[in-house]
Structure 1
């Protein structure tokens, strides 16, 4: 399994994040925010393969590229037409769906589901292309278990609500622990590889008390399976990083592999950051250091800064978190 990611959009412009979770047998793709021009970095086939679109919030610079996304995907069949965001997302998306003229849609069968992420529950509405997206079909709400909002076979997605004078959602994608066979232990037990090893990884398919190769499956699991923790990536943007936010974020981000985070302002512009409910390079780097994250990638830098000033902003972060960086494509 592997997590691959790409920051979309240029320095001082709208940004977004494209994430792929590759399990080895299937690749799941996610897009976080959809600013103007961000999708131009992806091939049309990559845009059409996005399984989930997650919005942090609906300020223009985070949603202005949605028309391009929807144009390529509006008639897509299957279960992968999923949009997530803060409370009000379904209402806003319904307006977007209905803002086009639909008169050639009768034989198209696409279904879209849009979820509002609340503090205690996720509410979802279904929209159908055959009826020109006219009706919002409310589905049963799902009570949240902690930060979790999505539990897939190979990964989970968690969400945390932060304050940008509106709800702004931070997201974290985590690969599930994978179980591998230790070949040396297998040989030491005098056992030969075979299809039974695949079943051994699945306690549902093969209960612990089932007998395999002369021993119980539970015993063999204890002897042969080695746990490998999955990777993780978090996307944070546009919120006030005050003491309350730090208190929530540090344990949530603890040991996260990659953190992709807004750094709108330089350290000297802290008051501007506070006024507009954004963050500075020093604040972001301190958060990464205190959470012990693996990598920090700074995005969503203000257009007020010239290239030389952006370089200084990065150095401010590196003074606190030495491996902080921009996207490679910003060079």
Structure 2
């Protein structure tokens, strides 16, 4: 079974023990979003060049070190890439870029627009490639609820949790598709016709509030066309009730009452939940000390959040070769399916015996 996404194609480019790396392809756009950015050297350049926005949970090395590789592969693309992260992320990004010389910068290089997320405001700093990636303050704005990023097909919401530092938890929600309820259509005395195609066109163009259209009404004398002045109100009258598909993502959080409350508010009944399970049940004390989760914690969260699918990730490498123990300990509630990852997906490091003789200086 596959999660029922219309717009999103979630691709987890990591194994169970690798640095977390979630890429979400947006099918209608042919573009992608990236959640966290640890080791990414195994991603193809064309994959990295498809990324429009990056969402960093926090700046620990295994979630942020891959930004250097990302810059390396996209800097000659003449476009703007958005990056979201906790307070201080712009300064850390500037420190990364400041470690390199940019004296050969070209006018067509890309720009990074870095957004520092606060509880109530977003502060933006731009790093323009043609200017050698010097950071320039670009303003700030009030947050509109939890939403950080949106396009015509989806939105990304975020809230803070605690890992002894602020950590962002994300939810990607697809825009509801166009759907007409035939019962509501009949109750309103309306008949199907070409006007529904026009209504659908206005819906996907985001123009439902732009005006009205002629609609086929049932009458005693047959069918009459009536001008409906508000397309938005018309669609609200006949639309089918639906729950848009969604993806939840959390990593590196402590099992605290406040974290649980925030997770439930943001991630309740998401379609696909991707979350850390760093320790097994026997190591609950280690989880508490490190502000991570163990399998017992994850079971409690699954019972509260009730996702349709759950993908565990970020298992400690101290359990190498023992990952089956994790899947035996996970006890999802009815209606939740556990997805499995292999322990490792990223290539192993090269050793001397892997190199051809010429590269070893013996040819």
Q: Which residue of 2 aligns with 1:196?
A: 198
Q: 2-side partners of 1:314 and 1:68: how far apart?
A: 33
Structure 1: which 5+ runs fail to align? none
Q: 1:159 and 1:287 mapped to 2: Cα distance?
A: 18
2:38 paired residue among 35, 55, 61: 35
Q: Which has the larger radius of gyration?
A: 2
Q: 1:47 to 1:283 in 2, by over 3 A?
A: same
Residue aligning to 2:92: 92
Q: Give the distance between the partners of 1:313 and 1:102, measured in 2 at CA.
A: 46
Deviation, 1:194, is: 7.7
Instruction: Provide the residue aligned with 2:328 in structure 1.
Output: 315
User: What is the correspondence of 1:164-175 to structure 2 with a 5 Å cutoff?
Assistant: 164-175=163-174
Partner of 1:132: 132
Could you tell me which residue of structure 2 aligns to residue 14 of structure 1?
19
Matched, 1:54 2:67: no
Give the total of aligned pairs.
Answer: 322
Q: Secondary structure at the match of 2:62?
A: helix
Quote the offset at 1:199 in angstroms. 4.4
Q: Deviations over 1:32-70 (max 9, x none)?
A: 11112x351x33211100111111111111122222211
What are the Cα deviations for residues 182-202 of structure 1, in whole angstroms up to 9, with x where unaligned? Answer: 68969x826246863444533
Cα distance in 1, alignment partners of residues 106 and 25 from structure 2: 33
Give me the CA root mean square deviation. Answer: 2.6
What is the Cα deviation at residue 273 of structure 1?
0.5
Is the alpha carbon distance of 1:171 and 1:31 closer, same or farther for their aligned partners in structure 2, counting shifts above 3 Å? same
For 1:236 and 1:68, locate their aligned partners in 2 and report how far apart those are by CA, in whole Å. Answer: 23
Paired with 2:147 and 2:131, the residues of 1 have a C-alpha distance of 32
Pairwise CA distance, 1:225: 3.7
Please report the TM-score for the alignment, with normalisation by the length of structure 2: 0.80
In the alignment, which residue of structure 2 is the partner of 1:238? 252
Alignment of 1:211-290 (within 5 A): 211-212=214-215, 214-215=225-226, 216=228, 218=230, 220-221=234-235, 224-290=238-304
Pair 192,11 (structure 1): closer, same or farther in 2 beyond 3 Å: closer
Q: Is 1:303–2:302 an aligned residue pair?
A: no
